[in-house]
């Protein structure tokens, strides 16, 4: 998959809308686009498969939310979703999404989605939708103070900087080249990245990066921006729990168990948002991560949580790193 280039910077980069066809986000045209088969039954294809050769969880969450959103009226919008990854997805076959209209109420509506391959559920999700309702009850945390994305290196430039380090261990060279070869439909700029990987020893289980969809999505469809955010939210998320341990251990197995999101305020996923990730706990071969997606104006747009299985084995030559 070749991801289109993003629009030029203007009022926060992607804030400069461009309706050119070649700038239309591949997340809308392909990655999260579902084929309707019957009422409340859809088929999804795969457009990026990680090196694990399992399906990317973010795409499954995003496609499931697309399916659920097609079964509700235009005047309601998703406010939360809760998902479980039941089986490993097979990237060689499409995924069928069955939507159950669990409840349609005056203010809230609930939809259940089951993703199926080979006749078995690989993923289940419940999404709740709400009509917009004003309320005097309002508060939020403050957004962290960080450099704007314009002052930070892009993902590709940062990887190139690391690869120029003559002391970089071959293990990291292989991993970075593998990452550089992947074409994903999102842009990432790390906040406070280390200048050299060869000098790292331990890291806190925290990371922040600016993120946005490649290409143009536009203002019109709030639901689509939520579906794109669901895709984005799973990228590098669980890896936050690995940061304090990655120089002592090698990942033997890592996979998401569940994923939850709460949507607080309207946003555009093709504009830069700050993704603040932290892992408050790990143990029992599991890791827990929390995340917040902030709009550039300081509004908390989305909160995320995920737990995953993480099995490690000691590095063979950790002392040489």
Q: Is 256 a catalytic residue?
A: yes
Residue in 25, 234, 270, 279 annotated catalytic: 234
CA distances, 124 to each of 83, 85, 113, 305 (Å): 6, 7, 6, 16
Residue in 25, 126, 256, 279 annotated catalytic: 256
CA distances, 189 to each of 19, 211, 288 (Å): 24, 7, 23
Tokens encoding 202: 């331990």
Distance between CA 277 and CA 36 in Å, rounded?
35
Tokens encoding 251: 């990942």
Cβ neighbors of 298 (< 8 A, separation 6 or more) are 142, 143
Residue in 109, 207, 233, 306 annotated catalytic: 306
Active site members: 234, 256, 306
């Amino acid at each position: 998959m070749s991801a289109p280039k993003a629009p030029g910077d203007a009022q926060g980069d992607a804030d400069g809308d461009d309706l050119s066809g070649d700038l239309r986000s591949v997340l809308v045209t392909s990655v999260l686009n579902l084929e309707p088969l019957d009422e409340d039954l859809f088929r999804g294809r795969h457009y990026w498969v990680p090196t694990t050769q399992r399906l990317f969880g973010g795409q499954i969450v995003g496609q499931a939310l697309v399916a659920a959103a097609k079964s509700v009226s235009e005047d309601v919008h998703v406010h939360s979703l809760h998902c479980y990854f039941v089986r490993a997805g097979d990237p060689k076959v499409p995924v069928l999404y069955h939507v159950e209209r669990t409840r349609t109420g005056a203010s809230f509506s609930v939809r259940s989605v089951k993703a199926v391959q080979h006749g078995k559920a690989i993923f289940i999700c419940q999404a709740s939708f709400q009509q917009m309702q004003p309320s005097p009850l309002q508060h939020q945390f403050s957004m962290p103070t960080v450099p704007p994305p314009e002052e930070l290196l892009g993902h590709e430039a940062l990887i190139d900087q690391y690869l120029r380090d003559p002391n970089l261990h071959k293990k990291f060279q292989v991993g970075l080249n593998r990452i550089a070869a992947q074409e994903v439909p999102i842009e990432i700029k790390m906040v406070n990245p280390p200048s050299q990987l060869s000098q790292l020893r331990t890291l806190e289980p925290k990371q922040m990066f600016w993120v946005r969809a490649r290409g143009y999505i536009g203002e019109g469809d709030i639901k689509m921006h939520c579906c794109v955010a669901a895709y984005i939210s799973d990228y590098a998320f669980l890896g936050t729990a690995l940061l304090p341990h990655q120089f002592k251990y090698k990942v033997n197995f890592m996979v998401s168990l569940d994923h939850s999101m709460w949507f607080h305020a309207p946003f555009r996923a093709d504009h830069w948002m700050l993704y603040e990730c932290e892992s408050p706990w790990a143990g029992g071969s599991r890791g827990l991560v929390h995340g917040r997606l902030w709009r550039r104006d300081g509004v908390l747009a989305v909160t995320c949580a995920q737990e995953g299985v993480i099995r490690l084995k000691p590095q063979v030559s950790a002392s040489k790193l």
